[in-house]
Amino acid sequence: MFRPGIPLPSTDDDAGTGQPRPVEEDPRQPTAAERVRTLVESSVSAVLRIPGVEPDELGSGVPQSRAVTSDGDVVVLVPADSPAARAAAYAQDDDLTAVMEITDVAPVSVPHRIRGRAWVTGWLTAVRGADRGECGKLLAERHPAGPPVSGPGWMMLRLEVGEAYIDDLWGESQVEPDDFAAAQADPLVPHEADLLQHLAAAHSEQVGGLCALLGEREGPCAAGRRAVPLALDRFGLRVRYCGESDGFDARFEFPEPVADVAQLRRAMHRLFEAAAVE
């Protein structure tokens, strides 16, 4: 299965506006809630912004780690002396609004490298009492190499989600908090960056060979364009075909959604084999 992409605009803007977008809804794609949840639970860059509170020059608005509770709240770990920690410590419960902005940058070198952004807004409170143990365990499981959650230099904050919004390769959409809480992150998110880098470094010829599955697009696709594996999820692989002045994305779907890296390897081999016999 495959899904041809749309020609890229001739713009050098790398903030998302130059990204190809699908022309119609595809039932075999992550939902908007799943895409937001995936970005929140990923390791891509995030900044915590509080209206009226300016981050300091050391970048303390950047959470060191983050996780999602069973209720759909986002727990973040920030320096204890950061503006966010100080504001949460002195605020009344549910009185401090905040926005977490997440920027998703492709882990491979490619034009229009920013794949999307998500904004999660809500109410920020300090994690206190019995909740500290549960939230600390979540953060430790999600980021085992991160800073110690019980260290004196760190503070855990809880963001109760009010709404979320995503603008990415699939399009723009608003997400309600109940949908965010019920969604699951893509199972490949912990491995996506390494997998894409491996495909680009060790299987570039085979990735380029997927062009054979594009039918009428094969000719212009193969004409001097570089094939870059851009994004990966349980449903398929997105490849960007880059020319000197133009290009397009193509979506190659797996026969069945994959649940782990072992299933992904088998699905990729089937794609490569299908392209080889075309």
* Residue-level pLDDT at 220: 65
DSSP E strands: which ranges in the chain? Answer: 2-7, 45-49, 65-68, 74-79, 97-105, 114-126, 154-168, 171-175, 226-233, 236-242, 247-253
- Which CATH number fits the domain that encloses residue 251? 3.20.180.10
Do both 157 and 256 map to the same domain? Answer: no
What φ, ψ does residue 163 adopt, rounded to 5°? -165, 165
Do both 119 and 235 map to the same domain? Answer: no
What is the pLDDT tens value at each position of the chain, 278 positions in all? 333 333 333 333 444 445 554 444 455 899 999 999 999 999 999 999 998 887 664 445 788 899 999 999 999 999 888 888 988 988 877 689 999 999 999 999 998 999 999 999 999 999 988 889 999 999 999 888 878 877 788 999 999 999 999 999 999 999 999 999 999 999 999 999 999 999 999 999 999 999 889 876 566 676 778 899 999 999 999 999 987 777 889 999 999 999 999 999 999 999 999 998 87
The answer to the question of residue 63 being in a domain is: yes
Give the chain's end-to-end CA distance (angstroms, integer): 13
The angle formed by the CA atoms of residues 167, 26 and 32, to the nearest 5 degrees, is: 35
Domain around 257: 2-10+191-276
How many CA atoms are closer than 13 Å to the CA of 10, on its beta-carbon side? 3
Do both 93 and 224 map to the same domain? Answer: no
Give me the number of domains the chain comprises. Answer: 2
Do both 66 and 165 map to the same domain? Answer: yes
Do both 47 and 152 map to the same domain? Answer: yes
Tokens 């299987």 found at: 203
Do both 202 and 166 map to the same domain? Answer: no
The answer to the question of residue 67 being in a domain is: yes
The answer to the question of residue 25 being in a domain is: no
The answer to the question of residue 229 being in a domain is: yes
**How much is the pTM?**
0.87
Last residue of a domain, one of 182, 207, 235: 182
* Residue-level pLDDT at 6: 31
* Residue-level pLDDT at 216: 67
The answer to the question of residue 198 being in a domain is: yes
The answer to the question of residue 136 being in a domain is: yes
Do both 197 and 165 map to the same domain? Answer: no
Do both 229 and 152 map to the same domain? Answer: no
Do both 102 and 172 map to the same domain? Answer: yes
* Residue-level pLDDT at 13: 43
What φ, ψ does residue 206 adopt, rounded to 5°? -70, -35
Last residue of a domain, one of 112, 147, 182: 182
Do both 176 and 115 map to the same domain? Answer: yes
- Which CATH number fits the domain that encloses residue 153? 2.30.110.10
